[in-house]
Amino acid sequence: MVEFFADKKDFNPQPSQDNKNYEYLYRGAFTMLQYRLRAGEMVKAESDAMVAMSSTIDVEGKLEGGVLGGLGRMLSGEKFFFQTLTARRGHGEVLMAPVVPGDIMDLQLDDRTSYLVQKDGFFAATNDVVITTKMQNLAKGLFSGEGFFVIRVSGTGTLFVSSYGAIHTLNIPAGEEMIVDNGHLVAWPENIVYTIEKAASGWISSLTSGEGMVCRFRGPGKVLIQTRNPQGFGQWVKQSMRTGA
């Protein structure tokens, strides 16, 4: 059986002293997640996340929350199915990576704080983390660029989010505000107060500034943002192809 560690005796299926049974490889633009599973344990991830795994692990497509949950994720821009990776024949290890270049960050959930995640931000989660969809109100859904549905993550366990570029944490103190371009959002706590508004006054200034809609967050709370904008990069690629640059 092929293993990703040098020798079986080097592999401890119990969590390490810092209570982590995972680690990040090649941090930066091409981060990969190395996750160790005890016999019978399972981790769920976005479709196509698995890069390599021990032969003790089975990978399956699964609908989290049934058909309605899958439809809600599809409407939000997420994929219909998750990958579930289960160590059915003893302990094992799986390597996972996002589709786009970028980083991965873990959030520890304690069943008290739920998170909203932008449509491409969910990467993986432990079994007790619940992935659902939440309908935004009409104004937020229409103007946010994220659609009427966003990903809602709750429960207990570890949530892994991924980004295009690096992930930066904005720690917003109580009573203070921070404005974030929608294309740079990754995840934010559900209980933080935020509004969606135009980045610049007037449609002409919005076009010339290159900015569309932004989110105004009011603290206290921590908002995760990504250093690159995938929509902006897509527009750059299209423009380059048109001009031949």
What pLDDT is recorded for position 66? Answer: 44
Q: State mean pLDDT over 213-233.
A: 88
Q: State mean pLDDT over 14-43.
A: 84
For residue 8, pLDDT beyond 60:
no
pLDDT in tens, 152-197: 899 999 999 999 999 999 999 999 999 999 889 999 999 999 988 8
Which CATH superfamily does the domain covering 12-236 fall into? Mitochondrial biogenesis AIM24 (3.60.160.10)
| C-alpha span between 44 and 46 (Å, rounded) | 7
Q: Which of 21-25, 64-68, 182-186 has the highest mean pLDDT?
A: 21-25
Structural contact between residues 46 and 79, judged by C-beta atoms closer than 8 angstroms: yes
Please report which confidence band the pLDDT of residue 237 belongs to, taking 50, 70 and 90 as the band edges.
Answer: low
Q: State mean pLDDT over 72-76.
A: 48
- What average pLDDT does the structure give for the chain? 79
DSSP result, 112-179: S--EEE-TTTEEEEETTEEEEEEEPPHHHHHHSSS-SEEEEEEEEEEEEEE-SB-EEEEEE-TT-EEE
Cα angle 142, 147, 153 (rounded to 5 degrees) comes to 130
Cα angle 159, 164, 170 (rounded to 5 degrees) comes to 65
- Beta-bridged to residue 177, according to DSSP, are 218
For residue 7, pLDDT beyond 50:
no
What pLDDT is recorded for position 195? Answer: 87
- CA 87 to mean position of chain CA atoms: 23
DSSP result, 19-49: S-SEEEESTTTB-EEEEEE-TT-EEEEETT-
- Beta-bridged to residue 196, according to DSSP, are 215
Q: State mean pLDDT over 218-234.
A: 86
What pLDDT is recorded for position 10? Answer: 43
What pLDDT is recorded for position 84? Answer: 94
pLDDT in tens, 137-157: 544 444 444 444 678 899 999
| C-alpha span between 205 and 203 (Å, rounded) | 6
What pLDDT is recorded for position 200? Answer: 60
Compute the CA torsion angle 20, 115, 142, 99 (nearest 10 deg).
10
Structural contact between residues 168 and 224, judged by C-beta atoms closer than 8 angstroms: yes
What pLDDT is recorded for position 125? Answer: 96
pLDDT in tens, 52-63: 999 999 999 876
| C-alpha span between 74 and 29 (Å, rounded) | 27
Q: Which two tokens stand for residue 166?
A: 């690096």
pLDDT in tens, 94-133: 999 999 899 999 999 999 999 999 878 999 999 999 988 7
